[in-house]
Amino acid sequence: MTFDLRPVADALAERGRVVVRRAYADWSYFDEDRRMLTRSHVELIDIPQRMGASRKNAADIKMAVDALEMAFERDYISTFVFGTGDSDFTPLVHKLRELNKRVIGVGVEKSTSALLPPACDEFLYYDRLEGVDVPAPARPKPSSAPSPSPESAPPSPRDVDTLASLVAQTVAGLQSSSNGPVTASTLKRTLLRKDPTFNEADYGFRAFGELLRHLAGHNVVELATGSAKGDPEVSLPEHGDREAAFVLLRSVVRDLAGPDGAVALSGLKNKVRKVAPDFSEKKLGYRSFLQFTRAAATSGAVDLRWSPESEDYLLTSNAEG
């Protein structure tokens, strides 16, 4: 895949003003890239190679030294972007974040170490950026060999239902830990802290606002006009789906109740999902099924108590109304 700086530059321009651009290599080996980067106003730091020996580490060390020097000498630079997927840069990322610098990583998805993205504030996969032409995989030659392994198959689109659960759970956590309203910008920053590779485009949405409107249309969240234009307040529905879920739980508990009218919590979620296959407590903003049942007990839909004999929670159905 031929590297093109323009998609990276465009993605970074959307996030702020770029004041320094540097690239490190023995540029005598990369003539076409050297011309392309020079036209893009990138300062080329030349690291000559010794005959018969690789000096890849010399380029890594030079980049790390320059980054730390810049962090201490230029307070106005608040964000550092590293075009690499090498886990060797993880300690440098941690140190820059200790210095209160934001760090964005850019790397090719299949060759990026699993250790690097979680260390960054945000990580962009180059192959997913707008404007990057990813070559189609080579077609296998006809043979009697078995079909290719699943690893060679194209990746399936990300699950929007999983995203809905993540957003609802995050909004619930923000609502419980903050006094003020949860805004869309706060929610996006929190999602990036949880998963620096998060990008709404991976789920088919052009913007985060479009994603929120989709979730609001499915009653996962509610949107209200915020204090800043274009930054709506996000909350979980107070009624509707939650109350319907409490009614569902009460009905399942009533149907499964034994002679004493009680049902054990263990295995209850599977019983609920047999009645409603799309049930998910996380879509309602609860971190666990136990937290959901506690909320149902608070609402009066069921009673919940700990049984030392059973070493489990027991639920009983309250009368409707």
22 closest CA partner among 61, 67, 55, 85: 67
pLDDT of 53:
55
The whole-angstrom separation of Cα 246 and Cα 250 is 6
Mean pLDDT value across residues 288-301: 83
For the domain covering 5-133, report its CATH number: 3.40.50.1010
Identical fold for domains 160-235 and 241-317, yes or no, is: yes
Is the pLDDT at 116 greater than 70? The verdict is: yes
pLDDT of 150:
42
Is the pLDDT at 146 greater than 90? The verdict is: no
Q: Is the model more confident about 243 or about 26? A: 26
Do 314 and 263 touch, CB atoms closer than 8 A? yes
Q: For the chain, give every domain's residue range.
A: 5-133, 160-235, 241-317
Q: Is the model more confident about 210 or about 291? A: 210
Tell me the CA end-to-end span of the chain in Å, nearest whole number. 64
Overall fold of domain 160-235: Nucleotidyltransferase; domain 5 (3.30.420)
Q: Half-sphere exposure (CA, 13 Å, Cβ side) for 151?
A: 1
pLDDT of 158:
54
Res. 310 pLDDT band, cuts 50 70 90: confident
Is the pLDDT at 307 greater than 60? The verdict is: yes
pLDDT of 54:
60
Q: Half-sphere exposure (CA, 13 Å, Cβ side) for 192?
A: 18
Q: pTM, whole model, 2 decimals?
A: 0.61
Is the pLDDT at 137 greater than 70? The verdict is: no
Kindly state the DSSP code that residue 47 receives in the 8-state scheme. Answer: -
Q: Strand, helix or coil at 10?
A: helix
pLDDT of 152:
39
Q: Pick the range with the lowest mean pLDDT from 58-62, 118-122, 134-138, 234-238.
A: 134-138
For the domain covering 241-317, report its CATH number: 3.30.420.610
Q: Could you report the per-residue pLDDT of 24-52, keeping only the tens digit for each? A: 998 888 888 999 999 999 999 998 876 55
pLDDT of 154:
38
